[in-house]
A and B are shown apart, each in its own frame.
Chain A
Amino acid sequence: MKHLATFCAVSAFLGLPYALKVVAPVLEPYPAIIFPSGHSKVDINDTDLTYSRVALVGFDKDTLAEKQLEPRAFLKPIPTQYLTYLAKNEFGLEADRNETIHFRYLSFPPRTFERRKPSQEEIGEMKQWLREKLIEQNCSGERFIIRRSKTTISTETGETIKREIHSEKTIALN
């Protein structure tokens, strides 16, 4: 029965992490042998396409006018591909760090998972890090905005048809 036992062990090794991801994407384990599916679709009859973007907006240190921050410089050395995720957690400063796990395909009720909460010292360190990043871009170190906008473009010409602010959150650093 050696082969059957090995087969069961390998199936569990490969299948269980994938099953976890399928029932609750937030439970995707690492490391695991899983590729992302990227299964979104577009309607090709639509001549426009809408997508969401996250932008960071500071305030000019002299005029206090809004100023779009350059994400690569702001996040450095963190790669910009993590911007959306860092913004979601408000750069570690969000008051509620708990994660609610919603299950798919199973009739389990949502579960709340308590995430690690940063200490006051860590929050102070984080704010100082953000302040320095803002000052580097000639902005006031007091606050900045995480702005989520929806942009609609024409898929025929590539021109922007509409841009609207979807939500924004001001992060105070005082």
Chain B
Amino acid sequence: MKRLLRSIDDIIAAAWQRVKSNTFVTPEDSSLFRIFFGLYFLLSHTPRYGWLNDIPDALYYPPIVSMGIFFDGFPPGIFVQIANIAQPILLFCVTVGIKARLTGIASALLNFVVTTFIFSFGKIDHSFTPWLALLVLSFSNWGTRYAVLPDKQSTSSTHSNCFAFLATFMVFAMFTAGLEKAKFWVDFDLSTNGFLSWFYLGYFSLGRDEMLAPLVLKIDPRFFEIADYTAVVFELTGFLFLIFSQRSWRLWLILACAFHLANTLLLNISFHFQILGYGVFIFRFSSFHQKIAAFIESKRAAIPTFVSLVAASAAIHVYQRIDSPGTSLLFGLLSKGEGPSPRLIIASIVWLLAIVMAVASLRLKDEKHPEKA
């Protein structure tokens, strides 16, 4: 029995080592991604909690299995206001690298606490990927480079474990979406369709008729049977891609970005913030490090200017939130006029760029983390 358990332990150790190797990102690359991550959050996805003020407690209906069950109503206004103002400040610290580990963990935990109350209207939303990435990557060395107040270096094992865990969590999340879909969508019956169920409801009932959505109506509905099977296969097979090789993992990421691009264009469901989970594995900046170092060396004002600009965007959030719930800077500036909404256009560009970068990363040599090298 002991020998059997030891063999299983060895198999798991070998598999985990492969996952670590396949998902490895250097501290330099992850630190540059941290800046992208923070900027993306500050410009387009800064959470707004202020609206939770003054909601009658009779509406408080928390999920049965959640922290919310221990509370008797929505949090006091002062807590909401502090959280609403603290969040952009914490994200500013993450972006410029002011103790990014501590501030990243605080930011993610604060969001999980406040969203417990937000999801106490009877519905749980599933937009947790960026926060999960923030929480997990905060334990890595992403705050040790390109940082105003760098973090203490973690061991290389801890660093690589973070990326392996993040990748595992993401493919598991996709797996949960695919498992039940498989039961219903993989029916080998051309007369029923799952993709079109999403499409028709969105197009006719929710006004999701922008971008390439009108094209769907011109295509033979039977064609979309392929979409049903493709979605299920993609969602269920993440683990295989993850464990096989670094290249296969990148290939799955390309499929993920293509999946989201198709959803944005055809279903007008963008989930653009998912890029904050995939991005760290896609965006490779290795060839830029020397150029960035040379630029910083030659332009002494570059860092103070950059920090000031990020601080300014955080300050705008804080200022807005003093007497209003606040806005998302980028989408707040681009108001919806005629034509497709800016959110969908930006999301399409983001997913397209991600695909291009992910394809480019396929051509890079596999990176080895120090334990394996």
- Residues of chain A touching chain B, judged by Cβ–Cβ distance below 8 Å, are 1-4, 6-7, 10, 14, 17-18, 20-22, 26-31, 33-45, 49, 51, 53, 77-79, 81-82, 84-86, 88-89, 91-93, 99, 101, 113, 115-116, 118, 122-123, 125-126, 129, 151, 153, 155, 158
Contacts of B13 in A (CB 8 A): 3
Among A33, A41, A122, A125, the residue within 8 A (CB) of B197 is A41
Q: Is the CB of B325 within 8 A of A14?
A: no
Given known A-B contacts A44-B221, A82-B122, A35 and B173 have beta carbons under 8 A apart: yes
Contacts of A31 in B (CB 8 A): 66, 112, 115-116, 128
Q: Would you list the 9 A-B pairs with minimal beta carbon distance, nearest first?
A: A92-B58, A85-B122, A77-B51, A126-B58, A37-B180, A35-B177, A29-B65, A44-B221, A118-B58
Q: Is the CB of B196 within 8 A of A82?
A: no
Contacts of B217 in A (CB 8 A): 155
Query: 16 A-B residue contacts at CB 8 Å?
Result: A3-B13, A28-B63, A33-B173, A38-B177, A39-B194, A40-B184, A41-B184, A41-B192, A43-B192, A44-B192, A77-B325, A81-B123, A81-B125, A85-B61, A118-B60, A158-B204
Contacts of B191 in A (CB 8 A): 43-45
Contacts of B289 in A (CB 8 A): none
Give A63 to B146 CA distance when docked, in angstroms.
66
Contacts of A7 in B (CB 8 A): 12, 16
Give A125 to B56 CA distance when docked, in angstroms.
7
Most chain A CB within a 10 A radius of its CB, from B64, B128, B191: B64
CB distance from B57 to the nearest CB of A (A): 5
CB distance from A81 to the nearest CB of B (A): 7
Contacts of B211 in A (CB 8 A): none
Give A89 to B123 CA distance when docked, in angstroms.
12
> Which of these binds chain A: B1-9, B33-41, B251-259, B359-367?
B1-9
Among A28, A38, A123, A126, the residue within 8 A (CB) of B124 is A28
Give A113 to B61 CA distance when docked, in angstroms.
13
Contacts of A33 in B (CB 8 A): 128, 132, 169, 172-173, 176
Give A37 to B184 CA distance when docked, in angstroms.
10
Interface residues of B in 73-116 (CB under 8 A from A): 73, 112, 115-116
Contacts of A49 in B (CB 8 A): 200-201, 204
Among A6, A53, A125, A155, the residue within 8 A (CB) of B58 is A125
Q: Is the CB of B196 within 8 A of A4?
A: no
Interface residues of B in 146-186 (CB under 8 A from A): 165, 168-169, 172-174, 176-181, 183-185
- Residues of chain B touching chain A, judged by Cβ–Cβ distance below 8 Å, are 5-6, 8-10, 12-13, 16, 50-53, 55-61, 63-66, 68, 72-73, 112, 115-116, 119, 121-126, 128, 132, 165, 168-169, 172-174, 176-181, 183-185, 187, 190-194, 196-198, 200-201, 203-205, 217, 221-222, 325
Q: Is the CB of B119 within 8 A of A30?
A: yes
Of chain B, the residue at the smallest CB distance from A88 is B122
Contacts of A51 in B (CB 8 A): 201, 204-205
Contacts of B8 in A (CB 8 A): 4
Q: Is the CB of B5 within 8 A of A4?
A: yes
Most chain A CB within a 10 A radius of its CB, from B5, B16, B57, B169: B57
Among B5, B180, B193, B198, the residue within 8 A (CB) of A1 is B5
Give A88 to B56 CA distance when docked, in angstroms.
16
Q: Is the CB of B55 within 8 A of A78?
A: yes
Contacts of A43 in B (CB 8 A): 191-192
Give A38 to B176 CA distance when docked, in angstroms.
11
Contacts of A39 in B (CB 8 A): 180-181, 183-185, 194
Give A1 to B174 CA distance when docked, in angstroms.
29
Given known A-B contacts A33-B132, A126-B56, A10 and B168 have beta carbons under 8 A apart: yes
Give A22 to B112 CA distance when docked, in angstroms.
22
Given known A-B contacts A4-B12, A14-B169, A39-B180, A30 and B56 have beta carbons under 8 A apart: no
Give A78 to B59 CA distance when docked, in angstroms.
11
Q: Is the CB of B194 within 8 A of A40?
A: yes
Give A138 to B276 CA distance when docked, in angstroms.
44
Contacts of B165 in A (CB 8 A): 10
Of chain A, the residue at the smallest CB distance from B198 is A38
